[in-house]
Chain A
């Protein structure tokens, strides 16, 4: 009966329903269409959860990329929590659970340190985590940042950045493909205003080739790409949330009188017309 692809229909629905409740809608869709579970979980970005690393006491972020079954890998200790089954001794890929190769893990450690600085400079708080994994012709990773502002107060907000990239080896250059999503929720309430909620997510992609002759340069390249992308997206979010949305409200209802505005425009037209003559 339905000719539309169920996966496309599910994504279309998620682009229309209230983005504040994406996680709930995602669970509903999965219960309706269990076949789509893996595809939806890997392609729909949700607000990130925070967990404390048992080994280091530092917070880290959870996503599909550091998940193995019900366990998550801490970027600070490289350990899974809860620990993966003790039968893992047989695991050929680095002793139980999906962990990057030694070389890529070394870069991952440095990237986590670098983005921890980035987080402090731009977010002045929050949590960051970086996860890398091996590819046949390079490596890939995800840079995660999360910050919450004044939860529980009259005006609150949360920001989640999810930057997924591939770094593919080319002759002397590295090809970077970056897909970035920012999930931004803002709300405020007061007796005069009532409830106001501005929530959503936006996604952008870029591709770029850059020279990368050392691990440090790889991390610097990824850092610059993410930094530029976040600056661009922050400006875009500002424009859409506070410019576009506000303009639409003004298009729906005019604070001033429409007939007066019409008369003013008419008078202006006449004035310009008379000047041309």
Chain B
């Protein structure tokens, strides 16, 4: 693999809140596309000067040439993918066939996000020539003092012509105190909505996300009770630590671990 490709794969694999820094300026410019891909896929958030609301950077809110837009604040801005900073904010007025659905979805999404995500950004954008609507929620929690960072990403594409709502839910948690532990989850969503209103879409999103989070919590329990326990016991069947001065006299096989026929 070429060196640049290798470094690009490192850029794309960075955990939440730990974007790679590159000190060589010529390399930074070569890595532009990798930084762009990383920021758009991770739904990087940025605050416009003078605003407190975080705004999402994604392929669905891209205007091209490094500019992105946000419906709620009616603004567009230029985004530097290497430094993750926004500049050149301008007003941006949404128009087109899906403008009403976009705004009504945003209106319902806002209270839902506030009810379930302590720290999240969200956005709704008409896509594919005004034929569909993309809905994004990204929640970040960074706690570098405690050596962990986490991100929740929701992406939905709603097709008004068929009523289909498809997307994915992803969780990424990194813990790195004297180690490196990573939780990575991904769940595809495929459902449909009869009403086709913004409120109907958000209601379905709420159902899907609650169901998924319950499943995920069960996943922790099943891994803990299943695979983890099957790998290594906390103590031998005898519930006692090994008597190392007698270990030579232990007989491996049916005598030990057989449960009933203990020594």
Contacts and interface: CB of A to CB of B under 8 A. Distances in A.
A89 interface: no
A68 B188 CA distance: 47
A198 B223 contact: yes
A248 B247 contact: no
Nearest to A220: B244
* Interface SS of A by simple majority: helix
A267 to B, nearest CB: 18
B204 interface: no
Interface residues of B, number: 80
B152 A252 contact: yes
A70 interface: no
B248 A199 contact: no
B173 interface: yes
A186 B227 CA distance: 7
B7 interface: yes
Interface stretch (B58-66, B87-95, B179-187): B179-187
Interface string A66-77: 000000000000
Contacts of A234: 232, 234
Interface string A178-199: 0000001010101011111111
Interface stretch (A97-105, A116-124, A169-177): A116-124
Interface in A195-210: 195-204
A253 B188 contact: no
Contacts of B253: 120
B181 A122 contact: no
Given A17-B13, A117-B242, 18 more contacts: A14-B180, A16-B14, A19-B181, A32-B3, A118-B247, A120-B256, A121-B236, A121-B256, A122-B232, A192-B211, A194-B187, A196-B216, A199-B181, A231-B234, A240-B179, A244-B148, A249-B173, A249-B213
Interface of A: 1-4, 13-20, 25, 28, 31-32, 110, 113-114, 116-118, 120-124, 147-150, 155-159, 184, 186, 188, 190, 192-204, 216-217, 219-221, 223-224, 227, 230-231, 234-235, 237-238, 240-242, 244-246, 248-249, 251-255, 257-259
Interface of B: 1, 3, 6-7, 9-10, 13-15, 18, 23-24, 114-118, 139-141, 148, 150-152, 169, 171, 173-176, 178-188, 209-224, 226-228, 230-238, 241-242, 244-245, 247-248, 250, 252-253, 256-257
8 contacts: A1-B24, A18-B13, A114-B244, A121-B233, A122-B233, A194-B185, A202-B179, A203-B178
